[in-house]
Each structure stands twice: as C-alpha cells, then as structure tokens.
Amino acid sequence: MGLKIFWTDFAKAELKKNFKYLKENVSSKVAINENRKIVLETLRLKKLPEIGQIEPRLENRTKNFAI
C-alpha cells in the first residue's frame, strides 16, 4: 500500500495559476502537458514515497507524516 496523497487548497490554486499562466503565455497544449506531468509525479509518490530529497528544516523532526 502506498501513501495517501492530499492536495491542499493552496496546492490546487497554484496548479490552476500555473495552468492559466502557461495557457496565456505559451499554449493550451503546453499547459495541459505540464499540469499532467505535475499530477503524475505526485501519483508516483504513492508507489515510491522515498523518492526526492529530505527537506532540511524537517529532517530532525520526530513526527513521521507518512501513513
């Protein structure tokens, strides 16, 4: 069983802003592709929760946020 991914309201808003910016300044196709890549990478975390780097400000915390 992998991790459960939660999109915060802030993250959703940032994804929408990113999409809008790319659509207006590049193209709809690029906006769709880039947002798809972002979503797919977050889904990858479900299967591979240890990928990526450790946030330096959180590495000394005793609480584990993984479920």
Collect all residues with Cβ–Cβ distance below 8 Å to 16 and sequence separation of at least 6: none
Whether the predicted pLDDT of 16 surpasses 50: yes
The pLDDT value given to residue 19: 97
Q: What's the whole-number average pLDDT of the chain?
A: 86
47/28: higher pLDDT: 28
HSE (side-chain half, CA atoms, 13 Å) at 54: 8
What's the token pair of residue 18?
């990113």
CA distance 10 to 56: 22
Alpha helices by DSSP H, the chain: 9-25, 28-47
Q: Which range among 16-25, 45-54, 58-67 has the greatest average pLDDT? A: 16-25
- The pLDDT of 46-66, averaged and rounded, is 76
The domain locations on the chain are 15-47
Report pLDDT digits (tens) over 22-45.
Answer: 999 999 999 999 999 999 988 888
